[in-house]
């Protein structure tokens, strides 16, 4: 079943065209890597899907619901490139709050404990993220993106700022989400992830120039 | 890994958000020093009270004559309606760009993107903002009521009560206009068109001597304590209709655009910080970003293309051309704002000459804002000190050269202000004193803008502050207060003319002498600017 569907998606900022009639479908269980130069439109596409930006034209559906609608928000988990966290809530308080807002099933605390262990955050769950390094804040944001229910997971540059063990954990968590049936779309240039992805979508100047199983060499060639 | 996704109903949303608020309140109150907080609240209350008393007891509380009272009764309601309409126009325009609500960035990520009822999530934030809006309306209304009491007949409690109710209604209406525009996602053009109708309708009432617009009815309420004013029914309906605006806004608030909210969230945070450190230039730049008032991609008039004959090298010419090139890229909205500020300054000059001296505060503020916009070429140099450091010219003289174009801009705006003042007040139609006033005003506002930009945010712990010890706090206060005071000095010749006329003396010598005093202060500022040498300026 198609979980993410972009039909002739176009986004303009004043005179700048960020996305030019992009068409893209992602099925449940697919692990998709979104690659491209800075300004190629990767983040714009993910932000449109999250409902953070409004389409100029076209249609973007999450589980069949228009992006940004109530049903789409319930199904779409988005991890932005910059972690956005409250200064006055600890990691566990963040978890509880996000789980409540997303009506997570009762077993969410066990799931959270598992993710916390995998990310190496166990010692810091009672601390305020405002005192964390960039990497720890990124790990907290990953935790929050994963403890809530979703059928599409979109992640923007998740490996930036993570130490090698954090990067490995991230890779496993993303692969695990896809294996559990979610459509996972990740904007990244990390080669290990590209090897693991079921599809690589290359964007250039707001348009898709390649979509499929692409080799490392082909990615590097397209990125110049 | 995934679960079946479900959404929260409004009751569950309120519960979840309530839990968050409690948790955050607990965390915040853990470290609060209650004695200090109460002391701050006490100081704020005291300052508000002082502002009310000071603003209402400044000179110029002369009683109006009988024929002027007839004018107030006949034209006052429509003029009040026009002012309210203009404020609502600003509200509608702000709302079309995403205002007035500002969210914390994490609220956008974790609350607005969650599958819950947005109305239930947004309304508590709106209520919190409304508390501040009402406080401003209350204080401004009390000041206005007290000012009216000083110049108009009628009982003091009635004027204060009407002032307070009017202040609250106006603040709610302006907030409501912005909220309607953002909640209903009105396009800027539509929002502006609605606002223009709200100004034009009472204006039509003014010229046709009718009372067809609800804003004019509201205006009738604001002069209700005046003996012989119309009976209240129509005025009360006007107030009720104005109060319906925020109600209508609250109903549609859930439709707020997440894209606009996200853009505002980061900028409002920075704006608050810039205000905290009193960095006026940063506030101006952030306000421009918030209002999406970028520079024009296509200049108003074409500039000379590369490849032609090279102009004669001259630092004066370079700065003049750089200034006019910048001017050619002003967005239309900035041009309109400058003209509006000039009209406000002109109206204030007329009011001051007629006896309402406190209007010098409003006029001075309008001129200061205009001055900040006018000195944009200089501000650009100050924003990029490293680039300027490469020029083989000392920084101070370069700054002085960058002020010629702003002076010409302010001179033209001064002519506009003179036109408005002459239209409203026949006593201000003489060209000779006007010329001296305009030149002195242009010099004062440009100097005010330049000093504000070059001085930048107050630097704490400077050498002078350390020498002054406990009295060191007065330095940053002076630095912040001096530029607006200098801009206010633009009205000094008008006040001088008013005093001269009151004493049956010819106003021209008074105007000329006052203009020379203002010019002397500007000269000192010029010397200070010319002496700038440090790289960071």
pLDDT per residue as tens digits for the range A106-142: 888 898 999 999 988 888 888 888 888 989 999 999 9
- Could you tell me whether strands A183-187 and A31-36 are parallel, antiparallel, or unpaired per DSSP bridges? parallel
- pLDDT confidence of residue B466: 66
Among B198-202, B316-320, B528-532, the range of highest mean pLDDT: B198-202
Average pLDDT over residues B466-474: 64
A175-188 b/e (C-beta count within 10 Å ≥ 16 → b): eebbeeebbbbbbb
Per-residue pLDDT for B473 more than 90?
Answer: no
The alpha carbon of residue A79 is apart from the nearest alpha carbon of chain B, in Å, by: 9
Record the tokens describing residue A78, joined without a space. 């988005």
Q: Mean pLDDT check: name the lowest of A210-219, B45-54, B111-120, B441-450.
A: B45-54
Cβ separation of B19 and A70 shorter than 8 Å? no
For residue A102, pLDDT over 50 is answered with yes
pLDDT reading at B467 higher than 80: no
**How far, in Å, CA of B390 to CA of B392, rounded?**
6
Q: How many angstroms separate the CA of residue A55 from the nearest CA in chain B? A: 10
Considering only CB atoms, which chain A residues are within 8 Å of B6? Answer: 74, 103, 149
Is residue B307 scored above 70 in pLDDT? no
Q: What is the pLDDT of residue B90?
A: 92
How far A13 CA sits from the closest chain B CA (Å)? Answer: 12
SS3 A154: strand
Q: Give the range of the structural domain holding residue A159, as residue numbers without chain letter.
A: 2-82+150-223
The answer to which of A180-194, B10-24, B123-137, B465-479 has the lowest mean pLDDT is: B465-479
What's residue B311's pLDDT?
A: 63
Question: Is the confidence at residue A23, as pLDDT, over 70?
Answer: yes
**Highest averaged pLDDT of the listed ranges A85-89, A99-103, B51-55, B489-493:** B489-493
pLDDT (0 to 100) of residue B537: 38
Count: domains in chain A: 1
* B129-155 mean pLDDT: 88
Q: What phi-psi label fits residue B278: left (phi over 0), alpha (psi between -120 and 50 degrees) or beta?
A: left
Residues 55-94 of B with CB under 8 A from A: none
The stretch A193-213 carries a mean pLDDT of 90
Query: Dihedral of the CA atoms B310, B316, B322, B327 (nearest 10)?
Result: -130
| A51-64 mean pLDDT | 93
d(CA A5, CA A151): 13
Residue B3 has pLDDT above 60, yes or no: no
Categorize the per-residue pLDDT at B1 as very low, low, confident or very high, splitting at 50, 70 and 90: very low
In-domain check, residue A87: no
pLDDT of B214 higher than 90:
yes
CB contact under 8 A, A54 and B297: no
**B56 or A214: which leads in pLDDT:** A214
B59 — pLDDT class (breaks 50, 70, 90): very low
Task: Considering only the C-alpha atoms of chain B, give the largest distance between any 2 of them, rounded to a whole number of Å.
Answer: 89
- Give the nearest partner residue to A71 out of B7, B16, B106, using CB atoms: B7
Distance from CA of B246 to the nearest CA of A (A): 26
Q: What is the mean pLDDT of chain B?
A: 84
pLDDT digit string, tens, across residues B229-240: 776 788 888 889
Query: Quick check: A103 and B7 CB within 8 A?
Result: yes
B8 has a chain A CB within 8 A of its CB: yes
Contact A52 B113 (CB under 8 A): yes
Query: What is the band of B75 on the pLDDT scale with cuts at 50, 70, 90?
Result: confident
Choose among A92, A85, A96, A100: nearest CA to A122: A92
What is the nearest CA distance from A204 to chain B, expressed in angstroms?
24
Suggest the residue from A1, A68, A69, A88 to mutate for an interface test with chain B (most B CBs closer than 10 A). Answer: A88
Q: Is residue A211 part of a domain?
A: yes
Q: Which residues of A47-81 are buried (b: 16+ CB within 10 A; e: fewer)?
A: bbbbbbbebeebebbbbebebbbbbbbbbbbbbbb
Look at residue A197 and tell me if it is in a domain. yes
CB contact (8 A) between residue B5 and residue A98: no
C-alpha–C-alpha distance, residues B103 and B96, integer Å:
16
For B83-97, what is the mean pLDDT? 92
Q: Which distant-in-sequence residues (6+ apart) come within 8 Å of A85 by Cβ? A: A94, A129, A130, A137, A140, A141, B106
CB–CB of B2 and A149 under 8 A? yes
CB contact at 8 A, B381 and B388: yes
Cβ distance B27 to A151 less than 8 Å, yes or no, reads: no
Chain A residues with beta carbon closer than 8 angstroms to that of B108:
52, 84
What is the structure's pLDDT at B56? 58
Residue A62 gets which letter from DSSP? E
Query: Does A172 contact chain B (CB < 8 Å)?
Result: no
With respect to residue A103, please indicate whether it lies within any of the assigned structural domains: no
Higher-confidence residue of B309 and B259: namely: B259
Burial track B252-286 (b if 16+ CB lie within 10 A, e otherwise): bbeebbbbbbbbbbebbeebeebeeeebbbbbbbb
Cβ–Cβ below 8 Å for A177 and B2 = yes
> Which residues of chain A have a CB within 8 Å of the CB of B15?
100
Could you count the other beta carbons within 10 Å of the beta carbon of residue A40?
A: 23
Domain containing A213 — which CATH number? 3.40.50.300
Kindly indicate the confidence band of residue A14, based on its pLDDT and cuts at 50, 70 and 90: confident
Nearest CA-CA distance, residue B262 and chain A, Å: 7
Q: What is the mean pLDDT of chain A?
A: 89
Cβ contact B12–A73 (<8 Å): no
Distance CA B397, CA B412 (A): 24
Angstroms from A10 CA to nearest CA on chain B: 15
Touching check for B6 and chain A: CB below 8 Å? yes
Chain A residues whose beta carbon lies within 8 Å of the beta carbon of residue B113: 50-52, 73, 78
What does DSSP say about strands A65-66 and A199-204: parallel, antiparallel, or unpaired?
unpaired
Contact A182 B1 (CB under 8 A): yes
Chosen for mutation from A102, A107, A129 (greatest number of chain B CBs closer than 10 Å) is A102
CA distance B489 to B444: 7
Confidence of residue A29 (pLDDT cuts 50, 70, 90): very high
Instruction: Give pLDDT, residue B479.
Output: 76
Nearest CA in chain B to A68: B113
Of the candidates B168, B30, B24, which has an alpha carbon nearest to the alpha carbon of residue B104? B24
A14, A63, A68: residue with CB nearest B258: A68
| A54 interfaces chain B, CB cutoff of 8 Å | yes
Asked if pLDDT for residue B104 goes beyond 90, the answer is no
Question: Is the pLDDT at B334 greater than 50, yes or no?
Answer: yes
Checking if the pLDDT of B385 tops 80, the result is no
Cis upstream peptide for B100 (omega within 30°): yes
Question: Minimal Cα distance from A184: which residue of B?
Answer: B2
Q: What residues of chain A, 178 to 207, have a C-beta less than 8 Å from chain B? A: 179-182
pLDDT cut 90: percent of chain B above it: 37
Of residues B8, B109, B294, nearest to A103 (C-beta): B8
Phi-psi region of B504 (alpha: psi -120 to 50; beta: other; left: phi over 0): left
pLDDT at residue B488 is higher than 80: yes
DSSP character at residue B304? P
| Domain presence at residue A119 | no
Helix ranges (H only) for B328-401 are 332-354, 359-374, 376-383, 385-388, 395-401
How far apart CA A219 and CA B86 sit, in angstroms, is 56
What's the farthest any 2 CA atoms get from each other in chain A?
Answer: 49
Length of chain A: 224
Q: What is the mean pLDDT of residues B243-266?
A: 89
Contact: B110, A101; criterion CB under 8 Å = yes
The chain B residue lying nearest A182, using CA atoms, is B2
Q: Is the model more confident about B146 or about B26?
A: B146
Shortest CB distance from A74 goes to which of B6, B106, B109?
B6
| A100 interface with B at CB cutoff 8 Å | yes
Q: Nearest CB to B16: which of A88, A89, A101?
A: A101
CB within 8 Å: A179 and B110: no
Q: What pLDDT score was predicted for residue B60?
A: 52
Distance from C-alpha of B377 to C-alpha of B399, rounded to nearest angstrom: 9
> What pLDDT band is residue B319 in, cutting at 50, 70 and 90?
confident
pLDDT higher at A62 or B41:
A62
The answer to whether position A71 is within a domain reads yes
Three-state SS letters, B37-102: HHHHHHHHHHHHHHHHHHHHHCCCCCCCCHHHHHHHHHHHHHHHHHHHHHHHHHHHHHHHCCCCCC
Strand partners, A57: A10
Question: In B, which residues are within 8 Å of A85 by CB distance?
Answer: 106
| Residue A113 in domain | no
Query: B7 and A70 in contact by Cβ < 8 A?
Result: yes
Least confident of A20-24, A53-57, B105-109, B449-453: B105-109
| pLDDT per residue as tens digits for the range B419-436 | 999 998 888 888 889 999
| In chain B, residues 288-347 whose CB comes closer than 8 Å to chain A | 294, 297
- What percent of chain B shows pLDDT beyond 70? 87
Distance CA A15, CA B83 (A): 35
Higher pLDDT, B298 or B370: B370
Instruction: Please give the pLDDT value at position B335.
Output: 93
Asked if A29 reaches chain B (Cβ–Cβ under 8 Å), the answer is no
Higher pLDDT residue, B202 or B321? Answer: B202
Say if CB B272 and CB B474 are below 8 A apart. no
Residue A212 lies in a domain: yes
Confidence class for position B460, pLDDT limits 50, 70, 90: low
pLDDT at B109 over 80: yes
- Predicted local distance difference test score (pLDDT) of residue B74: 86
Q: Give the pLDDT of residue A178.
A: 93
Size of the A and B interface in Cβ pairs below 8 Å: 104
Q: CA-CA distance, A57 to B390, in Å (whole number)?
A: 47
pLDDT band, residue A87 (cuts 50/70/90): confident
Please tell me the predicted confidence (pLDDT) of residue A214.
81
Closest partner CB to B7 (pick from A63, A74, A177): A74
Q: Which of B2, B8, B27 minimises the CB distance to A182?
A: B2
Residue count of chain B, please give it. 537
Q: Which of B397, B384, B264, B268 is nearest to B326 (CA)?
A: B384
């Amino acid at each position: 079943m198609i979980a993410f569907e972009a039909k002739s998606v176009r986004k303009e900022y004043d005179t700048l065209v960020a996305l030019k009639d992009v068409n893209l479908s992602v099925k449940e269980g697919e692990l998709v890597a979104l690659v491209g130069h800075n300004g190629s439109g990767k983040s714009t596409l993910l932000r449109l899907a999250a409902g953070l930006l409004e389409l100029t034209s076209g249609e973007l559906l999450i589980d069949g619901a228009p992006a940004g609608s109530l049903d789409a928000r319930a199904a779409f988990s988005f991890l932005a490139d910059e972690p956005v966290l409250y200064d006055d809530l600890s990691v566990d308080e963040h978890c509880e709050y996000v789980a409540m807002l997303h009506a997570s099933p009762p077993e969410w605390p066990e799931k959270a404990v598992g993710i916390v262990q995998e990310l190496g955050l166990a010692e810091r769950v009672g601390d305020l993220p405002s005192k964390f390094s960039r990497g720890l804040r990124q790990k907290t944001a990953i935790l929050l993106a994963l403890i809530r229910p979703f059928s599409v997971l979109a992640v923007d540059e998740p490996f930036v700022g993570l130490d090698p063990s954090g990067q490995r954990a991230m890779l496993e968590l993303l692969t695990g989400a896809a294996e559990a049936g979610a459509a996972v779309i990740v904007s990244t240039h990390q080669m290990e992830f590209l090897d693991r992805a079921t599809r690589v979508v290359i964007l250039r100047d707001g348009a898709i120039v390649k979509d499929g199983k692409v080799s490392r060499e082909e990615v590097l060639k397209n990125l110049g | 890994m995934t679960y079946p996704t479900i959404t929260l109903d409004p009751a569950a949303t309120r519960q979840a958000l309530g839990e968050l608020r409690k948790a955050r309140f607990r965390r915040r109150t853990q470290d609060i020093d209650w004695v200090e907080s109460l002391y701050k609240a006490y100081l704020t209350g005291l300052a508000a009270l002082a502002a009310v008393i000071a603003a209402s007891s400044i000179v110029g509380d002369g009683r109006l004559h009988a024929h002027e009272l007839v004018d107030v009764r006949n034209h006052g309601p429509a003029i009040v309606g026009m002012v309210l309409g203009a404020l609502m126009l600003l509200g509608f325009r702000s709302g079309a760009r995403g205002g007035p609500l500002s969210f914390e960035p994490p609220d956008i990520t974790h609350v607005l993107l969650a599958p819950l009822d947005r109305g239930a999530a947004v309304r508590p934030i709106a209520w919190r903002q409304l508390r501040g809006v009402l406080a401003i309306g209350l204080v401004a209304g009390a000041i206005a009521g007290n000012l009216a009491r000083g110049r108009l007949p009628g009982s003091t409690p009635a004027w204060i009560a009407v002032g307070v109710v009017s202040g609250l209604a106006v603040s709610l209406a302006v907030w409501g206009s912005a909220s309607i525009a953002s909640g209903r996602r009105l396009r800027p053009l539509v929002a502006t068109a609605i606002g223009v109708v709200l100004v034009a309708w009472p204006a039509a009432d003014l010229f046709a001597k009718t009372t067809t617009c609800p804003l004019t009815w509201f205006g009738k309420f604001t002069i209700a304590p005046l003996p012989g004013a119309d009976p209240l029914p129509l005025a009360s309906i006007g107030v009720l209709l104005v109060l319906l605006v925020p109600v209508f806004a609250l109903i549609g608030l859930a439709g707020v655009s997440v894209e606009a909210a996200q853009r505002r969230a980061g900028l409002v945070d920075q704006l608050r910080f810039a205000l905290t450190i009193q960095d006026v230039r940063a506030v101006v730049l952030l306000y421009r970003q918030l209002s999406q008032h970028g520079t024009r991609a296509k200049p108003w008039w074409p500039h000379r293309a590369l490849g032609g004959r090279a102009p004669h090298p001259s630092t004066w010419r370079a700065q003049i051309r750089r200034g006019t090139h910048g001017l050619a890229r002003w967005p239309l909205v900035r041009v309109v704002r400058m003209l509006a500020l000039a009209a406000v300054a002109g109206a204030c000059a007329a009011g001051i000459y007629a006896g309402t001296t406190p209007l010098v505060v409003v006029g001075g503020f309008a001129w200061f804002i205009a001055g900040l916009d006018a000195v944009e070429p200089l501000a650009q140099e100050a924003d990029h000190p490293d680039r300027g450091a490469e020029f083989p010219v000392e920084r101070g003289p370069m700054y002085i050269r960058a002020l010629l174009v702003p002076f010409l801009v302010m001179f033209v705006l001064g002519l506009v202000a003179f036109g408005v003042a002459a239209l409203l007040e026949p006593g201000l139609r003489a060209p000779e004193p006007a010329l001296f006033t305009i030149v002195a005003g242009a010099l004062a506002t440009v100097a005010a803008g330049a000093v504000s930009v070059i001085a930048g945010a107050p630097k704490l712990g400077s050498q002078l502050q350390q020498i002054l010890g406990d009295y060191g706090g007065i330095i940053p206060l002076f630095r912040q207060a001096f530029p607006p005071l200098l801009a206010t000095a633009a009205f000094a010749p008008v006040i001088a003319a008013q005093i001269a006329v009151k004493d049956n003396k010819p106003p021209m010598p008074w105007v000329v002498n006052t203009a020379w005093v203002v010019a002397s202060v500007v000269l000192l500022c010029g010397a200070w600017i010319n002496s700038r040498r440090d790289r960071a300026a």
